[in-house]
A and B are shown apart, each in its own frame.
Chain A
Amino acid sequence: MVICKRFTPVILLLLASFSYLSAQEVTLSADKTKFSIQEQVRLTFTFTDIKNPPRQVDLELEEYFTVSGGPHSSSSYSWVNARSTSTIKISYDLIPKKTGKISIPSYTFTIGREQYVTEGFVLEVSPVEIVPDRELPLSFMELVLPKDAVYQGETFTIHYYLYTMERVVNYTTNPVTSMEGFIVDRFILHNTPLTDKKMIGGKEYTRAQIASLTLTATASGEFVFPPKTFRISVRRTTQSRSIWDDPFFGGGTSDININAPGDTVSVFPLPPGGGPYFTGAIGEFSLMTAMDSTRIRENQATTLRVSLVGRGNLQHFTFPEQTFSREFEVFEPRVRNNYKLNSQDYQGERTWEYILIPSKSGVYSFDDIRFTYFSIKDMRYKTLYMPLEDIHVFAGDELKGDYSNLSPEQVRLLSTDIRFLQMNESQCVDPSYAPLSDSRNWFGYYIAAILAVIFLIADFYIAFRNKNIKVIRYKNALKTAVTHFKQISHDLPPESILIKVETGIRTYLDDKQMHADDLPAVKDLLKTIETYKYAPGMLSNMQLDTLKDKALSIIEGIEAE
């Protein structure tokens, strides 16, 4: 009895280790064992509690199948009765090449020192379609979860797929704005969805990823995604070919409502042991630090930049609080975000900037910057460390001449010194000089004002002249006529001189608003000109001068009257 009691812990330990060992296994399964040659089948390898399983498997089934997709991998982690179980699945989509019974062989995996063997089984491929045509809808929806279980705080994305054999022209649905147990990071209805072809029941469907929903779990438990209705517009050809029903024979657009099925997801609480530097970060991250300057004066600020780069729930946590020396005044860090939401979760960089101001001189050492996150890949907490350089704080002018930590711009300025004196004065002004009250600067405005006045006067003048054109011409008639006659010279041919004299007289009469018929002298002169026009070559210069003088004397006579 005493021996039994003594060996009890040993036996329990052996049993526990046996149960632990027995949990490690690799299995192979198919989603169906009977199907037609036009259908695809999914083979899944499940690695339970095995670290670092292979990322892909050489199936060696080329003789019987074509690989249409894969390897797809998914992982899950559960914590039941203080015992954790991790499961990693690798699956392949296969399309059969032959009909009949196909044996799937057993596969052997050597991981570490252990060897794991899967069981073989038989798949039956029939030559005819198993599912009758009438059971297949023209369009249907599918909800795809990246994995069956997630952790509380984890960000993940679910996708809605539309399978259709019709011509879809549009689709809509109500956006998801809230969901119990989750933060809705984004709901997006894809305008240009990713599409591919899928064979189902011997029919070829077009599969389109039309909507995605990114969520972050806030509570643990089982959560149900309810079915979601999508309104799909499809173009269908009309049955009747009546010109009245469908004048262009192009068919019409029909709206149909299709329900995407619901699904369930398990949200596990994070395992204990996150430590003081865990603030809820889940994903895969790396840590970087940079200090502006490590040699500074008292009361001079230096900036410490701490950057996290990676992917996961970047938006949903803060950086753990860090402790610095009491001699430093530390302000609330300024956060710079440079990340975006990709097809699964957040990816990018977050930087926290701490401004540190030392109050006393000395050499200061700091604790390492620490950050803990939960690694989805390794399913455990990881703590990142980054050591900081010592900061040398100098008193007063002690730093003068020490430029080792200055920026290139600062060094450039220091090395060039201030510039030399100005040798001459350009313009001397009153100490209270204001450029806007200096009239010289407004010179352009004065010119513009003068120009405006000139244009206004010209405008008024032209307007007045246009309005009183007859009066002006009446007044200026003599002046115009005299100027006209002065322009007549002997250089011109006689016929031109005759025309000019005639024009001069007629213009004068027009200006004076008179008629030649009312003035006998003018009438005679015009007759003489007409006579001369028959033989202009016979006219002497003297005759032409006499004619011009006569015309002028007649005009002066009229003016005198």
Chain B
Amino acid sequence: MRRIIILLIVLPLSALIAQTGLNREPLFKKGISAYANEDYAKAQMIFHQLEQDGVSWELYYNLGNAYYRDGKRGYAIQYWEKAKLLAPAQRDIRHNLSVAQQELIDKVVLPDMFPLFRWYLNMQEHLPLHLPVMISGILLVFLTLTIGYARIKKRKEGIYPKKGVVSISVILFSLILVLHLITLDTGLKRQKEKYAIILDRSVNVLSGPLQESSVLFVLHEGSKVRINKEIEDKWANISYFDDKIGWVNLKSLGKIQP
């Protein structure tokens, strides 16, 4: 009976591994060797082929590297940003993005922020969203054990345990609440705010969604913009650092979120 149960568990798992890993791995290695041989176009093609079956932060990261070496900074930043969405804490991604950002033409000096607020925004940017959920799950287990223990003790002995249990419960509850608020805030922000990267060398940002509209300002390859609205799959209303708003042809943009 035990053997049958083990087989029932192991067989579907191995089938899953065979589906996801074994077929991808040779192709993934092929992409790496193309990159190593400086055939960046081929590396891009292979990685894009893999993208259709499923994605990983490593795949997006490698795609970004292949585009960067090919001189396409806009695409490189787009794929590194995609990789950052899947693994925000990865240092390699952050490093490559910093290197690329040094070469951007559009640079904005942001005003000073209150340190705590700056720290929170920075933390939000690099926070893997599953982390607070997992930590609060573990804390919830401890909270349940603490409250359950206190309740059973009360039933059996007629008295609640001493103050320590109440303090621990309050601390655990507060931590869970804070973690939930952070998750909610970060999750909503990532879901609500859609970003894109300018892919062309330079793009005229127009006053309206018409080719004849006046040019408000010019953005260059690699600049990150927020998409506010899309019209007819052709035009996007974008904002650059919140204060500059205008319309851009969607062809010039590489979206970060799917």
Contact = CB atoms under 8 A, between A and B. Distances in A.
A425 B140 contact: no
Contact of A459 (B55, B143, B155): B155
Given A300-B107, A444-B134, A429 B128 contact: no
Contacts of B235: none
Contact of B65 (A301, A418, A462): A418
Interface string A339-383: 000000000000000010000000000000000000000000000
Interface in A22-58: none
B141 interface: yes
A303 B107 CA distance: 12
Nearest to B47: A421
A139 to B, nearest CB: 48
Contact of B55 (A424, A428, A434): A428
Given A428-B56, A436-B183, A459 B152 contact: yes
Interface in B147-180: 147-148, 151-152, 155-156
Contacts of B139: 444
Contacts, number: 138
B144 A448 contact: yes
B152 A418 contact: no
B18 to A, nearest CB: 13
B99 A462 contact: no
A458 interface: yes
Interface in A403-433: 406, 410, 413-414, 416-433
- Bin the interface of chain A by size: 35 or more
B105 A300 contact: yes
Contact of B99 (A355, A413, A420): A413
B245 interface: no
Contacts of B137: 441-445, 447-448
Interface secondary structure of A, over-half rule: mixed
B24 A428 contact: yes
B89 interface: no
B130 A438 contact: yes
Contacts of B107: 300-301
A294 to B, nearest CB: 16
Interface string B213-248: 000001010000000000000000000000000000
A187 to B, nearest CB: 30
Interface string B122-144: 00000011100110111111011
Interface string B78-100: 00000000100000100110111
Given A418-B96, A418-B99, A421-B61, A462 B258 contact: no
A452 interface: yes
B178 to A, nearest CB: 16
Instruction: Tell me what chain B mostly uses at the interface: helix, strand, loop, or mixed.
Output: helix
A143 to B, nearest CB: 42
Given A418-B99, A425-B59, 16 more contacts: A300-B107, A355-B109, A417-B99, A418-B65, A418-B96, A419-B95, A421-B65, A425-B25, A426-B56, A429-B55, A431-B55, A436-B183, A443-B134, A458-B148, A458-B152, A459-B155
A297 B95 CA distance: 23
12 contacts: A301-B107, A418-B100, A421-B62, A421-B65, A424-B58, A425-B28, A428-B24, A430-B54, A444-B141, A447-B137, A448-B144, A451-B148
Contacts of B151: 455, 459
B195 interface: no
B35 A421 contact: yes
Nearest to B145: A451
Contacts of B108: 301
A445 B183 CA distance: 15
A451 B141 contact: yes
A240 interface: no
B99 A416 contact: yes
Contacts of B145: 451
A247 interface: no
Interface residues of B, number: 59
Contacts of A432: 258
Nearest to B69: A418
A431 B53 CA distance: 9
Interface of B: 20-21, 24-25, 28, 32, 35, 51, 53-59, 61-62, 65, 68, 86, 92, 95-96, 98-100, 102, 105-109, 111, 128-130, 133-134, 136-141, 143-145, 147-148, 151-152, 155-156, 183, 187, 191, 218, 220, 258
B24, B32, B35, B139, most chain A CB atoms within 10 A: B32
A48 to B, nearest CB: 51
Nearest to A403: B102
Contacts of B220: 299
Contacts of A417: 99
A443 B111 CA distance: 41
A414 B51 CA distance: 30
A435 interface: yes
A463 interface: yes
For A303, A424, A434, A435, which residue has the most chain B Cβ atoms within 10 angstroms? A435
Please give me the 7 A-B residue pairs with the lowest Cβ-Cβ distance, nearest first.
A444-B137, A455-B148, A422-B58, A448-B140, A441-B130, A428-B54, A462-B155
Contacts of B56: 425-429
Given A300-B105, A451-B141, A441 B62 contact: no
A435 B57 CA distance: 13
A19 interface: no
Contacts of B136: 444
A303 B109 contact: yes
Contact of B133 (A441, A448, A458, A463): A441
Most buried by A among B51, B54, B156: B54
Contacts of A443: 134, 137
Nearest to A461: B155
A466 B111 CA distance: 67
Given A419-B95, A423-B32, A431 B148 contact: no
Nearest to A418: B96
Contacts of A444: 134, 136-141
A463 B55 contact: no
Nearest to B36: A421
Given A447-B141, A452-B144, A462-B152, A433 B86 contact: yes
